[in-house]
């Protein structure tokens, strides 16, 4: 997965002329803050240098994770054709770009972001977007959300930046502003999964129908030290590679997400929870099933078409 061409070009143009040594140093500092989940009252993307490091080294990965999550939502509710999007903690507008790619019906996006530095950069990138109506709002998600509803509401890589006490209020607020579907994406760490589980319980209590990744609304069958997460392969551009001082032209972004809807899902295929283990004539899938169980299923060539399907499915897919 890579950023769509107009966005890639806009990112390259925003990064042109930025001294590489500065980009490398800022990207390292930013990565440390994310890895340690620092909550010191200062925004991670507090100034232009951090905003530039974000679009160089994080945006391609969050885009890939968000795109995969929106695609899973779409797969479970194929009739959903959102026209309006509300994205909270929009950063450089990552969700807007991914959602516009998944749904050609999307025509309006409201993007709430409190950091002036990343908002300004996001506005610059969005100048090349196909969406006719994009409204950027300066607002704090802890206090400034209005009651207006939108077809699709999203919150990507934001819960981890909030104090625990602010998360519950925010999830209730997001749901009240959701006309059809809500998507929350978090880093694929055990802590990210725990935050998603808490949001899931809260949304189910509010009457939400879980679309993905879970094929049920029962208790999660995964127990620590295991945890539920997925992976998206991200193509690194030249500048992305240089900013990370990396050799390999790709990286794997681990993520976890939750898609919920006001409309129930009709079919609940199992979800593949880890990379399939393949050998000649056999494949083992770790599955989360509609009855609330998690199982390992061995399929062999003797099972014909089902075996062929199992060979084609990937981590995160439906079986």
Contact residues for ligand SAM (CB under 6 A)? 43, 45, 59, 62, 66, 89-91, 94-95, 112-115, 118, 140-142, 156-158, 161
The least distance separating ligand SAM from the CB of residue 186, rounded to whole angstroms, comes to 10
- Between residues 60 and 82, which has the closer beta carbon with respect to ligand SAM? 60
Query: In whole angstroms, how close is the CB of 284 to ligand SAM at the nearest point?
Result: 33
- Name the residue nearer to ligand SAM (CB basis): 140 or 168: 140
In whole angstroms, the minimum distance from the beta carbon of 158 to ligand SAM comes to 4
Q: What is the DSSP string of 111-123?
A: EEE--HHHHHHHH
The sign of the dihedral angle between the CA atoms of 154, 53, 36, 64 is: positive
User: CA-to-CA distance for 121 and 117, rounded, in angstroms?
Assistant: 6
Query: 260 vs 287, which CB is nearer to ligand SAM?
Result: 260
Shortest gap between Cβ of 121 and ligand SAM (angstroms)? 10
In this structure, are residues 227 and 193 in contact, taking their beta carbons and an 8 Å threshold?
yes
Residue with tokens 């939750």: 258
Write down the least CB distance from residue 290 to ligand SAM, Å. 30
From residue 55, how far is each of 11, 12, 68, 172, 212 by CA, in Å?
A: 7, 9, 19, 30, 27
Q: Which is nearer to ligand SAM, 66 or 197 (CB)?
A: 66
Residue whose beta carbon is closest to ligand SAM: 91
Which is closer to ligand SAM, CB of 26 or CB of 270?
Answer: 26
Cβ neighbours for 138, distance < 8 A, ≥ 6 positions apart: 113, 114, 116, 119
């Amino acid at each position: 997965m890579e950023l769509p061409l107009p966005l890639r070009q806009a990112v390259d143009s925003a990064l042109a002329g930025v001294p590489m040594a500065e980009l490398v140093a800022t990207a390292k500092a930013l990565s440390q803050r994310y890895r340690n989940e620092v909550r010191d009252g200062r925004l991670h993307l507090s100034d232009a240098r951090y905003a530039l490091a974000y679009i160089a080294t994080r945006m391609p990965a969050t885009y890939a994770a968000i795109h995969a999550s929106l695609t899973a939502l779409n797969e479970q509710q194929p009739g959903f054709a959102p026209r309006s999007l509300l994205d909270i903690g929009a950063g450089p507008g990552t969700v807007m770009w991914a959602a516009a790619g998944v749904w050609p019906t999307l025509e309006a996006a409201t993007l709430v972001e409190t950091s002036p530095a990343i908002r300004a950069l996001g506005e610059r990138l969005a100048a090349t977007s196909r969406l006719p109506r994009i409204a950027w709002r300066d607002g704090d998600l802890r206090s400034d959300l209005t009651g207006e509803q939108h077809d699709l509401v999203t919150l990507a890589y934001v819960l981890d930046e909030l104090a625990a006490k602010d998360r519950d209020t925010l999830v209730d607020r997001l749901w009240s502003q959701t006309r059809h579907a809500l998507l929350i994406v978090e880093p694929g760490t055990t802590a990210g999964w725990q935050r998603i589980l808490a949001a899931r319980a809260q949304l189910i209590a509010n009457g939400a129908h879980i679309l993905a990744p879970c094929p049920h609304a029962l208790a999660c069958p995964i127990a620590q030290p295991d945890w539920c997460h997925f992976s998206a392969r991200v193509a690194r551009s030249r500048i992305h590679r240089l900013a990370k001082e990396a050799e390999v032209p790709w990286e794997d972004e681990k993520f976890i997400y939750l898609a919920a809807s006001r409309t129930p899902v009709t079919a609940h295929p199992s979800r593949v929870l880890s990379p399939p283990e393949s050998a000649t004539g056999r494949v083992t899938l770790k599955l989360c099933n509609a009855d609330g169980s998690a199982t390992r299923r061995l399929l062999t060539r003797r099972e014909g078409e089902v075996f062929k399907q199992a060979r084609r499915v990937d981590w995160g897919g439906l079986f």
